[in-house]
Amino acid sequence: MFEGINIRNVVEHYNKRENAHQLLTRHFENEKVNDYCQLALGIEMPEGNYSASEHFLGPKVLSSSPASSVFQLASKLKSAPDVNHVPKTIYDSNLPYLRISVGSEIAMMLNPNEFWVGNVRTIYTHLIIKHKGNISLANEELALYKEPEPNKSRPSKMEYQIWRDLYLSLESSLIQLTNMGRDIAESEGLESGSKCFMWADALCSEIYATYT
């Protein structure tokens, strides 16, 4: 499974993300709120948050809420005792345009060994693993899980519960993927990423680009 991916692309993607992670961490620890938010929302560079950057959500988030609110959310995510608190922390923040995909990426970029991204790429990869490599079934089920276009309105409670459950269900697939990716990298004499869910996210991006 996934033998067709370009593992060199994955390593390059991962290295860019780790550089962004290190810069984000410095901004966060030094409480450089504006600098942190510009990067954490994918405005300064897409590697800070692909989910936000690809849909031009960063400027919308900051036009609707002060940077201090985004930084406060990041602080709560950083201190979350475990991943089960991530979806509710994002939902309770009630920041327009900032939903599970963008919020979970903020969490992962702060704590990439504990938290993972919940977006179309990670969900798609999870579905491929779930369906034992059957791309057609994965594509069919993916259509059921398209995240609604982010807007100013708060997600309904039912919508939140669906995405919470889906997000939390990704863990085992992403850990399995991490190990598969490390085996592929090792077979090609390449060094895999050391941060579990950041490495998984890089793999998911390449898988999504390859199979869709």
pLDDT at residue 47 above 60?
A: yes
Whole-number CA gyration radius for the chain = 16
Cα–Cα distance, 194 to 127 (Å, whole number): 24
Output the average pLDDT for the chain.
94
Q: Is the pTM of this model over 0.85?
A: yes
Q: Residue 192: pLDDT above 60?
A: yes
Question: What is the C-alpha separation between 155 and 101, in angstroms, rounded?
Answer: 13
Residue 212 pLDDT > 90: no
Q: Is residue 91 scored above 70 in pLDDT?
A: yes
Average pLDDT estimate for 113-117: 98
Alpha helices in the chain (DSSP H): 7-29, 33-40, 50-54, 57-64, 67-78, 86-93, 100-110, 120-130, 135-142, 157-168, 171-187, 196-211
For the chain, the domains span: 7-211
* pLDDT of amino acid 152: 57
Provide mean pLDDT across the span 35-43. Answer: 99
pLDDT value of position 158: 85
Residue pLDDT, tens place only, 173-185: 999 999 999 999 9
pLDDT number for residue 156: 81
